[in-house]
A and B are shown apart, each in its own frame.
Chain A
Amino acid sequence: MTRRGVREFLATKTMRVAVYFVNSLVFLMIIGLLLKSRPILEQHTLWEMLSSDTWRPLRGQFGFFPFIVGTIEITLLSMALAVPPCLLAAIYLAEFARPRVRDALRVVIDLMAGIPSVVYGLFGVIIIVPMVREFGLLLGRHTTGYSLLAGGIILAIMVVPIITSVTTEVLLTVPVEARESTMALGATRWETVKHVVLKQGRQGVISAIVLGFARAFGETIAVMMVVGNVAKLPHSVFDPAYPLPALIANNYGEVMSIPLYDSALLFAALILLVVVGGFHLAAHLTLTRLRRGE
């Protein structure tokens, strides 16, 4: 082989290895976390851990139920707060805004996605937590402010950029002809959006929401700073909660002395990876089908 041929061969092989590495990374993570969480899976059944609500690591009781409920509740709360304004904003950007305004605002929203989560958390501690405390007092509830609601608000702010920008992108892929024919029949712009554009882009919009959901599900630091971190089932939005990611982050480092503790926390990480991975898989498949269908 010539020198050029050898170089060519080596480069192609390197690329192949890199591609295989990326493709196997998810499986590597699942296997790594599974191996490390095997000790706890041998001692407790999966169902027992997921459904029990006693968390006493010192006595070997690892019930994930309060954390799972906390994670789901805080995520749903943040979605309820974030989705309506995001959809409205995205519709405005895609349908009503002039291209210049749209581009400028999309840059702003992209920048918002780049802000570190610890900064969101700090904003939460300074502004949102006192706000929630005042709001609680107004309703006659005594709360420190470090609560499910504060976490939900911070998460809502954090998922805004992703939901808005994906939705805008999806709505922009709806062909102009579909709009023109409806408007030619005398429909207003809003009616066109409601009956034609949203219907055509429905799957994409749902994917955007799923992506936001997945992001909210795994967010750690910002939530941890405002949510209170108490391992009990919250009874109202003013009660503190303790989502899974915060559980992992709070307890690592001091776990080595307690048997099975590290195993339990890595199992929590595995749950997060599998759930969030599943959501992303679903959203990816839908979005790819949409883009191919253009």
Chain B
Amino acid sequence: MYIRRRRRIELLMKGLMITSLTVIVGVLVAIIVVILIRGGRALSLEMIFQTPKGGYYLGKGGGIANAIVGSLCLGFGAMFVSLFISLPVAFALQREYTNRTLAAVTKLALDILWGTPSIVYGAFGFVIMVFFGLHVSMLGGIIALSFLMLPIMTRAMDEIIRMVPVELKEISYSLGATKLETSVGVVFRQALPGIITGMMLAFGRGIGDAASILFTAGYTDFMPRSIFDPVASLPLAVFFQIGTPFPEVQQRAYAAALILLVIVLAVNLIARLLHHRLSRNIIR
């Protein structure tokens, strides 16, 4: 009898676990399906290729090409800015460059930065802009976003770089190469797929973030022209359009969300596939 009760508990718990997992995956599928269906209905070529015309927010013609281009500019801009900081940091975290204490402290700093809410990056970006006398602009958005991307990118790169076999480095050193030559010629080449993956993951996070660019990048109905002008972005396009009282405009929020979701999921999937594909040629 006792055994049977224990088996029943086992079965019950297993049932609960499978239910939980199904619910979790189900919610994900529900989100994607809802956005696909609602967004698909509202999506048109006009949405993708035209900028808002007069009265767009009252339901008249036009599209959100400005937000698509703006988001891509912000995303790529911030990705390159943060690359210039994360790449040296990721290399510096190797044993040859940094002692264990500093490496541990840096990892702690990165973890805290990783968890810092994006609205705080927005606020800090704003403080910096005020300090340098900048106005709401693409540059401001890029600064705030690159802070947000920095920890994501560095952590991904560090993990990859640490997987490069020590033997390879030793061979390079024994041939008389310096630390830099080894890092660039051997480690960088080996870790390249991982570095690209890290960049793409950070890009995906950055392009979808709204809170950090809310008052650093601003919003405009025009195509981005210079980095000192305000720039539109997809997350804010969704946010502002759903906030209007007109159903026609709210429909367009769905379409904008669909475009954003497709970009983010595509970038994430490509990053993963690329990582898989390229790492096959790597010596382990």
Within 8 A of A (CB), among B25-49: 25, 27-28, 30-31, 34-35, 38
How many chain A residues touch the partner (CB < 8 A)?
86
Instruction: From the candidates A89, A221, A269, name the one contacting B235 in the complex (CB within 8 A).
Output: A221
Contacts A19-B98, A85-B23 given; indicate if A107 touches B272 (C-beta within 8 A): yes
A109 to B25, CA, bound (A): 8
Q: Determine, out of A41-49, A51-59, A122-130, A134-142, the stretch whose residues face the partner at the interface.
A: A122-130
Within 8 A of B (CB), among A56-105: 84-86, 88-89, 91-93, 96, 105
Closest-by-CB residue of A relative to B208 is A116
Closest-by-CB residue of B relative to A125 is B242
Contacts A93-B21, A119-B238, A220-B118 given; indicate if A22 touches B128 (C-beta within 8 A): no
- Per-residue A-contact encoding for B101-141, CB less than 8 Å = 1, 0 else: 01011111111111111111011101110110000000000
User: Do B21 and A92 touch across chains, with their CB atoms under 8 A apart?
Assistant: yes
Could you say which residues of chain A place their CB within 8 Å of the CB of B10?
A: 188-191
B154 at the interface (CB under 8 A from A): yes
Instruction: From the candidates A8, A249, A252, A279, name the one contacting B178 in the complex (CB within 8 A).
Output: A8
A112 at the interface (CB under 8 A from B): yes
User: Do A15 and B28 touch across chains, with their CB atoms under 8 A apart?
Assistant: no
A277 at the interface (CB under 8 A from B): yes
Could you say which residues of chain B place their CB within 8 Å of the CB of A4?
A: 178, 181
User: Do A118 and B210 touch across chains, with their CB atoms under 8 A apart?
Assistant: yes
User: Do B119 and A122 touch across chains, with their CB atoms under 8 A apart?
Assistant: no
User: Do B117 and A119 touch across chains, with their CB atoms under 8 A apart?
Assistant: no
User: Do B108 and A92 touch across chains, with their CB atoms under 8 A apart?
Assistant: no
User: Do B85 and A111 touch across chains, with their CB atoms under 8 A apart?
Assistant: no
Instruction: From the candidates B38, B117, B154, name the one contacting A126 in the complex (CB within 8 A).
Output: B38
A217 to B115, CA, bound (A): 10
A215 to B208, CA, bound (A): 16
A25 at the interface (CB under 8 A from B): yes
B150 at the interface (CB under 8 A from A): yes
Could you say which residues of chain A place their CB within 8 Å of the CB of B35?
A: 119, 122-123
B225 at the interface (CB under 8 A from A): no
Contacts A21-B85, A92-B18, A114-B265 given; indicate if A119 touches B124 (C-beta within 8 A): no
User: Do B31 and A115 touch across chains, with their CB atoms under 8 A apart?
Assistant: yes
User: Do B126 and A219 touch across chains, with their CB atoms under 8 A apart?
Assistant: no
Could you say which residues of chain A place their CB within 8 Å of the CB of B235?
A: 116-118, 221
Q: Determine, out of B50-58, B162-170, B253-261, the stretch whose residues face the partner at the interface.
A: B253-261
- Per-residue B-contact encoding for A211-233, CB less than 8 Å = 1, 0 else: 10011011111000100000000
User: Do B119 and A276 touch across chains, with their CB atoms under 8 A apart?
Assistant: no
- Per-residue A-contact encoding for B65-92, CB less than 8 Å = 1, 0 else: 0000000000000000000010011011
Could you say which residues of chain B place their CB within 8 Å of the CB of A120?
A: 31
A145 at the interface (CB under 8 A from B): no
A14 at the interface (CB under 8 A from B): yes
Contacts A22-B150, A249-B214 given; indicate if A111 touches B28 (C-beta within 8 A): yes
Instruction: From the candidates B107, B119, B180, name the one contacting A272 in the complex (CB within 8 A).
Output: B119
A91 to B24, CA, bound (A): 14
User: Do A118 and B239 touch across chains, with their CB atoms under 8 A apart?
Assistant: yes
Within 8 A of A (CB), among B4-24: 6-7, 9-10, 13-14, 16-21, 23-24
A16 to B179, CA, bound (A): 14
Interface centre among A17, A22, A277 (most CB of B within 10 A): A22
A125 to B34, CA, bound (A): 12
A281 at the interface (CB under 8 A from B): yes
- Given A92-B21, A280-B112, 19 other A-B residues pairs in contact with their CB atoms under 8 A: A4-B181, A8-B179, A19-B89, A33-B124, A86-B20, A96-B14, A108-B25, A109-B28, A112-B24, A114-B264, A116-B261, A118-B238, A123-B35, A125-B242, A214-B115, A218-B118, A248-B119, A269-B119, A288-B104
Binding site for B on A (CB under 8 A): 4-5, 7-8, 11-12, 14-19, 21-23, 25-26, 29, 32-33, 35-36, 84-86, 88-89, 91-93, 96, 105, 107-112, 114-123, 125-127, 157, 160, 164, 188-191, 211, 214-215, 217-221, 225, 245, 248-249, 252-253, 265-266, 269, 272-273, 276-277, 279-281, 283-285, 288
Residue pairs across A and B with Cβ atoms less than 8 A apart, 13 shown, are A17-B88, A33-B123, A92-B17, A109-B24, A116-B209, A117-B208, A118-B208, A119-B31, A122-B238, A123-B31, A248-B119, A252-B215, A284-B112
Binding site for A on B (CB under 8 A): 6-7, 9-10, 13-14, 16-21, 23-25, 27-28, 30-31, 34-35, 38, 85, 88-89, 91-93, 97-98, 102, 104-120, 122-124, 126-128, 130-131, 147, 150, 154, 178-181, 183, 201, 204-205, 207-211, 214-215, 235, 238-239, 242, 253-254, 257, 260-261, 264-265, 268-269, 272
